[in-house]
Structure 1
Amino acid sequence: MVGGCDASLLISSNSFSQAERDTDINLSLPGDAYDVVTRAKTALELQCPGIVSCADILAVATRDLITMVGGPFYKIRLGRKDSFESYAKDVEGHIARPNMTMDTIINMFASKNLNVQEMVALMGAHTIGFSHCSEFSKRLFKFSQTSEFDPTMNPTYVQALQTLCGNNTKDMAAFNDVMTPGKFDNMYFINLQKGLGLLASDQAMIYDQRTKPFVELYAKDQDAFFKAFAHAMEKVSVYKVKLGKMGEVRRRCDVVNQLQVNPNKKIGS
């Protein structure tokens, strides 16, 4: 969510510019996700060319995927336009990294008009998905002078992750939610209470007094989590949307329309 809900993430890099999707933090996004949007766009272009934006497709596909794996349904307003540009250099500071302090993460979400409760609910999206060893291995080996691993972690969990990530030649991946990885539920928050948070930024929420009450609330009340998550996602889905001449309806989601005419043109120029 760099420039808003505008499908800039879907644009491919070219010989002139590296796009958002190829920055390091986005490389773990599954290729299947891009394929789903591409297939939906192709089908829509055959039936109603130039009408449905990639941003709208992405917003609806995200909501439907969450619902399919057990998460809440929420309303999606349509009519977004797609961005004209996408730059990898713009990503930093817009996506929470595992080593960020809680102050930094809270401030980052606040800059997008999301409060602490909404931030914690959105972090709960880690109930599905995975992370690579490079994103959490510093918690497992030579953590400090007094501890081999992060003492906030469950020791049995640490042993399993050390076995997974011990081979440094391969950047293996682990599920963000070790208990119910294929289900959208509140187990992510229950895990944090047991030291089973995979990323340092996740586990830190149970120790920060600003976020802890919401972790505890969502751990014991899945309905409260779902309600807060749905509300937050509705806000995210309309953040800095592009309308009118601020954007376009791309004919292909991975290429801005100008580049389809002139492939030698830089992204966003």
Structure 2
Amino acid sequence: MAIQKILTVLFLYLALAFLLVELTNAGGLQLGFYQRTCPGAELIVHQTLYRYISRDRTLAASLLRMHFHDCFIRGCDASVLISSTGNNQTEKDAIPNKTLRGFNVIDAVKSALEKKCPGVVSCADVLALVARGSVVMVGGPHWDVPTGRRDGRVSIANEALFNLPPPFANITVLKQQFAGVGLSVKDLAVLSGGHTIGIGHCTTISDRLYNFTGKGDTDPALDPRYAAQLKKKCKPGNSKTVVAMDPGSFKSFDEDYYTAVAKRRGLFQSDAALLDDAETRDYVTTQSRTHGLTFALDFAESMVKLGNIGVLTGEQGEIRKRCAFVN
């Protein structure tokens, strides 16, 4: 009888623990969140996205960047997608987001989902799933994306202007901004590796090439031969030309970014800044020497952390019918 009583109590404790876990999951993110409410949702995302990436691989970097820019401001709530109104300038129109591309891709994915399951899948989840799909489609790692995010209703341009890590940031600023959203120094080094795909505009490196300290000089942290190559492409005042962030393989997700940074050929000051801290420098050096031995796994882990920043779940926020407009 004593053993039976103990077993009964133990069973009740386990049942209670299981119930608490279920309740916790119900209020947060889950793998397969839409399995019952919108079966095939992730397949719809993949198929729609593939139509775009297969025609233009450069969109992958833009869509990854869009997710990053969204999560850094108010968490991963799709606030970066909201269009400005006469009464409010939104994140989309902030200077750091002026060069974002791929809003039409997000709209196409959302439209396809709305036809299948009206009012079910959030724009925030679309962004997270599209970021992963984009990376995978250009040779990068796969990671689990738990879903169940809700969409925010607030988007303010100045928040993006002042809180997104700028391309001219030094290592101190970068570490502070990443820590501010719960990301570690290692996450900083790892997520910077996303620059293995994509392009940069000449305007973002003009001062670095021609007026670094206000005396018409070039950033001494930049390899002189690489600086000379950039100057041929980016003449003073050039606002139209773009250059690859990872020359030679900017359409493929690989570890070459770290090799470039180790050789002082990172395009932005924020790339070069990784050599100014012991932990980030060690990561750069290790990946460049080992041909990115752990980069894919590390990137997947850091992207999961990024996608969990400040999420709205349960009854918070809303499910937007159109990603550019609050319901």
TM-score over 0.5 (shorter chain): yes
Describe the shift of the 1:169–1:152 C-alpha distance in structure 2 as closer, same or farther (beyond 3 A). Answer: closer
1:208 equivalent to 2:308? Answer no
Counterpart check, 1:224 vs 2:294:
yes
Change (3 A) 1:42 1:142: closer
User: Which of 146, 152, 159 lines up with 1:77 in the alignment?
Assistant: 146
Whether contact under 8 Å (1:41, 1:57) holds in the other structure is yes
| Runs of 4+, deviation exceeding 6 Å | none
Among 146, 163, 174, the residue aligned to 1:94: 163
Is residue 2:91 matched to residue 1:20? yes
Say which SS state the counterpart of residue 140 (structure 1) adopts.
helix
State the partner residue of 2:74. 3
Q: State the match for 1:233 in structure 2.
A: 303
Contact kept? 2:81, 2:324, Cα under 8 Å? yes
Q: In structure 1, what is the equivalent of residue 321 of structure 2?
A: 251
Distance 1:225 1:241, change over 3 A: same
Matched residue type, 1:87: I
The match for 1:108 is 177
**By how many angstroms is 1:242 displaced?**
0.4
Question: Which residue of structure 1 lines up, in the alignment, with residue 126 of structure 2?
Answer: 57
C-alpha separation in 2, matches of 1:142 and 1:71: 36
Verify the 8 A CA contact 1:7 1:82 in the aligned structure 2: yes
TM-score by length of 1: 0.90
Contact 1:178/1:196, CA 8 A, preserved across alignment:
no
**Percent identity, aligned pairs only?**
35
On the 8 A contact 1:217/1:224 being kept in 2, the answer is: no
Mapped to 2, the partners of 1:218 and 1:61 lie a distance apart of 26
Which runs of 5 or more residues in structure 2 are unaligned? 1-70
1:91-145: per-residue Cα shift (whole Å, max 9, x none)?
Answer: 1343211222211110111122211111110111111111111211111114348
Match of 2:235 in 1: 166
Paired residue type of 1:100? A
- Per the alignment, in what secondary structure is the counterpart of residue 112 of structure 2? helix
Code of the aligned partner of 1:26? N
Alignment-mate amino acid for residue 212 of structure 1: R
User: Is 2:94–2:161's contact at 8 Å kept on the other side of the alignment?
Assistant: no
Instruction: Work out the CA distance in 1 between the residues paired with 2:211 and 2:129.
Output: 43
Q: Contact 1:55 / 1:80 at 8 angstroms: preserved in 2?
A: yes
In structure 1, C-alpha distance between the alignment counterparts of 2:203 and 2:254, rounded to whole Å: 26
- Mapped to 2, the partners of 1:22 and 1:178 lie a distance apart of 29
Q: Distance in 2 between matches of 1:224 and 1:199?
A: 24
Q: CA deviation at 1:163?
A: 2.1
Contact 1:8 1:86 (8 Å CA) reproduced: yes
Q: Which residue of 1 aligns with 2:65?
A: none
List alignment gaps of at least 5 residues for structure 1.
Answer: 258-269
Q: What secondary structure sits across from 1:91 in the alignment?
A: helix
Structure 2: how far apart are the matches of 1:83 and 1:144? 40
- 8 Å CA contact 1:81–1:249 kept in 2: the answer is yes
Q: Structure 1 residues 219-228 or 180-189, which shifts more?
A: 219-228
Out of 99-108 and 142-151, give the one that drifted further: 142-151
Task: Tell me the SS of whatever aligns to 1:64.
Answer: helix
Q: Residue 262 of structure 1 corresponds to which residue in structure 2?
A: none
Structure 1 residues 193 and 256: alpha-carbon distance in aligned structure 2, compared to 1, 3 A threshold:
same
Instruction: Kindly indicate which of the two structures has a greater share of residues assigned to helix.
Output: 2
For residue 282 of structure 2, what is the amino acid of its counterpart? P
The aligned residue for residue 197 of structure 1 is 266
Which letter does structure 1 place at the counterpart of 2:241? M
CA contact (8 A) 1:93 1:108 kept: no
Distance in 1, matches of 2:98 and 2:262, equals 29
For 1:28 and 1:179, locate their aligned partners in 2 and report how far apart those are by CA, in whole Å: 22
Root-mean-square deviation (CA, aligned residues, Å) is 1.6
Residue 147 of structure 1 deviates from its aligned partner by: 7.8
Give the Å deviation of 1:146: 8.4
Once the two structures are superposed, residues 32-69 of structure 1 have per-residue CA deviations (whole angstroms, 9 ceiling, x without a partner) of: x2111101111111111010011111100000000111
In the alignment, residue 228 of structure 2 is paired with which amino acid? Answer: Q
Aligned to 1:265: none
Counting matched residue pairs gives 255
